[in-house]
Structure 1
Amino acid sequence: MSTEPSQQGGSDPDAASLAPAAVARVQRRSVWVLSGGQILGGVAFGATVSLGAVLAAEVSGDEAFSGLAAAAVTLGTALLAVPLAALARRRGRRVSLASGMSIALVGVALVILAAALPSFPLLLVAFGLVGAGQAANLQTRFAAADLATDATRGRDLSIVVWATTIGAVLGPNLTGPGEALGRAVGMPALTGPYLITVVAQALAILLYLIALRPDPLLLAQRVVAAARATATAIATSDDPVVARYAIFAVAAAHGVMVSVMAMTPVHLLHHGASLSIIGLTISLHIAGMYALSPVFGILSDRVGRIPTILIGQLLLAAALVMASFGQEQTGAVTVALVLLGLGWSATTVSGSALLTEASSEAQRTRRQGLSDLVMSLVGAVGAILAGVVLAWIGYGGLALVVGVAVVATVLLAPFGRTRPPLEAAA
């Protein structure tokens, strides 16, 4: 939110709550609450998805269907991104985020039921509902930007993205204790870890409902309305061209990342790498995605959104070149995956900030939901087509083919240059 009322309204308590200092306090609180929710959401999602493929193969009786679990989650994320964004627009982030996690909670319950029956169609529906939790997790980065200023938007957004690191690491590592707990209470095989998911999601719902007050998006809307009512100078620009570029940049980086990352375990396995090496490679990749996001957030605030996006493209290009020409060396592939995560992080953080500030208050949540929809669909299509390309021209060829998206993002960068906002007369 780049607009702030310049008058504090004397003794009016409502006006006082809209004062810049009060808004800044709410913003700081919101960032920490959203970060906590992201950690819990990451634990829930990690514990759920880590066994998804195994559970799908077990329930269906055919390993060929194991990949459909992740596909169902991704499709659910895409389909629910826009409705949750619309709900946020009407009722605020608190209701939207809690609703997304609640739908995911229903999905987890249905996963357990589908395993007990067993029913593969029900399992796929359940994983689709679980995608609502991921859609909520994605929305938190935009929620962190609702009350942020232009000078801190990238930093605040990136802090919430960084919090994902904790959940992403903890979630999959809780499957062992969860399985033991599940056996102790007589749950179906492979569903024990979902007890941890239920607890984490329930805590996230409570956190959002209780602690995310006042709601950052609703407060941002009040600030804008108050500024207009008092004829305070506000930024009224809306730049759909810049917004479209931001959506494209984020989706393209996600497609590049998912395409290469999804095929890396298969490639390494075929070249004799052990499962521990493959696990380490993916773990380092995930660290690259999230651990340095605050660095890129601060960088985007200080040097600009487009320069940081271009830094992300440079990192992605370096990753693809290393993956292509070093495909026979496990060390080179591991370094490539780390660079891939870093490039994704720089582009996603800066692109999300660019989308937010290029959109007027009336258009912002709709475009944010659209961005998450496009991002999820591109990732799903990229993962599917990556397997075809891998079988056709190999891992090195795949890395070069997806480089087309990096080139396109760089060439289209001039469309991401923002124009000075129009100022309403004070």
Structure 2
Amino acid sequence: MTATVTRTGDEASPRVLRRLLAVLVLSQALGGAGMAAGITVGALLAEDLLGSTGLAGLPVALFTAGAALGAAVIGRVSQRLGRRPGLALGHAIAALGSIGVVAAAAGEWAGLLLFSLFVYGAGTATGLLARYAGADLAQPERRGRATGTVLLATTLGAVAGPNLVGPTGALAQAYGIPRLAGPFLLAACAYAAAGLVLLVWLRPDPLHLARHRSAHGAPVAAREPKERERFSPGVVTGATVMITAQLVMIAVMTMTPPHMTGHGHSTQAAGFVIALHVGAMFLPSPLSGLLADRVGRLPVAAASGAVLLSAGVLAGLAPPDSVPLLSCALVLLGLGWNLALVSGTALITDAAPADRRAAVQGLADVGMSLAGATGGMASGLVVAGGGYPLLAVAAGTLAVAVIPAVAHWENRATMRRCPRVDLDHSDRPRDV
């Protein structure tokens, strides 16, 4: 039985909501460090242990597949028990996976490495699912900005993580552990701390507050319509936008470090480029959220497709020895993904009823994770067969072919259902 919220006047006060948002921000900063550190060296570590460039995309495929299972489990746990136990469980599982990767690298056990990377993927799912907790705390007309605030916090750790590849590698080497396993030591500590922060301080639970507000405390204009279907057009559109962006982003990002090191760049240089990319994935979140709230979810989603195309073309045309151009391409890749994620999140949260919201959101992120697994696995094969430029341009073309088309379809469907643009649940919520 789902817990209910008591003392609503006190627990839902602005002071309490600000405190809950601060707890989410702190946990996201810690979790971001764990996520980005592993992403930076995962492909390089697998390439080293497995001895094949064609399999360099396997780690990302594994931990995104793990993220798919993690998103399903965390979504179910959150649906029944709330955001706090669901998110804390995800961080704990990711910490265990990180420890497994370190042990596998030390013992040169390829099987354990692959299994641990799969388990480690739960951290990726947890960090992304936390954005929905931010949306729980906001009224519909401010959901984009609330989502952006939580995602922005990930930048603090996500940018620091790749730049700690050198120091953590040196620390690992001092204890007889391969240098490339060093970032996973950081990931284990960061994920454990993030889970502890949530478990202790994320009280009252954001999802319980959102359910109580929907059932009792929200104004009529802001209440969630009970008649909305689980897979309404808004849910399908939001999920499609996020899934496509995830596939494109993971495919290009995964093969950028091997592409760079294969042309003489150091792992530190590759880490710097990935740090810029991860920063662009999360740093623009407040602006993306503001645009989603003010301009509309669908225009922002359509714009993400164009930005992802420009990223793919630039990455494909950039000379392999040009770190500045590759950096610009990866920054655009992160920005396009961010626009898609924020707008897609708002579309799904708007369309999913409060009593089934966590489960629906978890399923959407399962789709994202499976898309990431597909992109990560296919990326190595495409590069081995046709080269990095082919991968980058093909990925960008896919983004611009799918995302704007889906956004246009949803816009036409919305106009047929709700011809008046000032309805409370139109694509662009009104400010009240």
Match of 1:216 in 2: 206
Matches within 5 A, 1:333-412: 333-402=326-395, 403-412=397-406
Q: Are the structure 2 counterparts of residues 270 and 360 from structure 1 closer, same or farther at C-alpha, using a change threshold of 3 Å? A: same
Q: 1:283 aligns with which of 253, 275, 287?
A: 275
Tell me the distance in 2 between the aligned counterparts of 1:329 and 1:385.
Answer: 24
Residues 194 and 401 from structure 1, CA distance in 2 versus in 1: closer, same or farther, beyond 3 angstroms? closer
Shift of 1:84: 0.5
Mapped to 1, the partners of 2:45 and 2:321 lie a distance apart of: 32
Distance 1:50 1:262, change over 3 A: closer
- Partner residue of 1:235? 224
8 Å CA contact 2:54–2:383 kept in 1: the answer is no
Per-residue deviation, 1:146: 0.9
For structure 1, list consecutive stretches of 5 or more residues without a partner in the other structure: 1-11
Distance 1:279 1:127, change over 3 A: closer
Change (3 A) 1:317 1:365: same
Measured in 1, the distance between the counterparts of 2:167 and 2:320 equals 36
> Contact between 2:228 and 2:353, CA under 8 Å: does it hold in 1?
yes
Q: In the TM superposition, what whole-angstrom CA distance separates every residue of 1:118-168 from its partner, at most 9, and x where no partner exists?
A: 532222222221111221111111111012112211111111111121111
Letter in 2 for 1:317: L
> Quick check: 1:80–1:132 contact (8 Å CA) kept in 2?
yes
Code of the residue aligned with 1:129 in structure 2: it is: V
TM-score under structure 2 length normalisation: 0.82
Q: Is the 8 A contact 2:95 2:189 kept in 1?
A: no
Q: Distance in 2 between matches of 1:287 and 1:17?
A: 36
Question: Quick check: 300-309 or 376-385, which moved more?
Answer: 376-385
User: Deviation at 1:55?
Assistant: 4.5
Q: 1:370 is paired with a residue of what secondary structure? A: helix
Alignment pair present for 1:70 and 2:63: no
1:309 to 298, 301, 322: 301
For residues 13 and 80 of structure 1, the distance between their equivalents in structure 2, rounded to whole angstroms, comes to 30
Three-state SS of the structure 2 residue aligned to 1:145 is: helix
Deviation at 1:111, TM superposition (A): 3.0
Q: Identity of aligned pairs, percent?
A: 39
Mapping of 1:54-203 within 5 angstroms? 54-56=44-46, 67-182=57-172, 186=175, 188-190=177-179, 191-203=181-193
Structure 1 residues 397 and 152 mapped into 2: Cα distance closer, same or farther (>3 Å)? same
Alpha carbons of 1:336 and 1:69: their partners in 2 closer, same or farther (altered >3 Å)? closer
8 Å Cα contact 1:38-1:160 kept in structure 2: yes
Task: Assess, with a 3 A threshold, how the Cα gap between structure 1 residues 59 and 267 changes in structure 2: closer, same or farther.
Answer: closer
Matched-pair contact (CA < 8 Å) for 1:158–1:297: yes
Rounded Cα–Cα distance in structure 2 between residues aligned with 1:280 and 1:195: 19
> How far did 1:326 drift?
5.2
Give the partner amino acid of 1:412. Answer: V
TM, length-normalised to structure 1: 0.83
Tell me which amino acid in the other structure corresponds to 2:22.
W
Does the 8 A contact of 1:327 with 1:395 survive in 2?
Answer: no
Superposition deviation, residue 302 in structure 1:
0.9
Q: How far apart, in 2, do the equivalents of 1:401 and 1:304 lie?
A: 28
In 1: Cα distance, 2:221 partner to 2:280 partner: 43
Quote the RMSD (CA, aligned, Å): 3.2
Change (3 A) 1:58 1:286: closer
Q: Distance in 2 between matches of 1:48 and 1:231?
A: 45
Q: 2:64 and 2:88 mapped to 1: Cα distance?
A: 19
- Please name the residue that 1:5 is paired with: none
Q: Which has the larger radius of gyration?
A: 1
Measure how far apart 1:347 and its partner are.
Answer: 1.2
Contact 2:38 2:183 in 1 (8 A): yes
1:255 paired to 2:247: yes
Distance in 1 (alpha carbons) for counterparts of 2:120 and 2:101: 9
| Aligned positions, number | 406
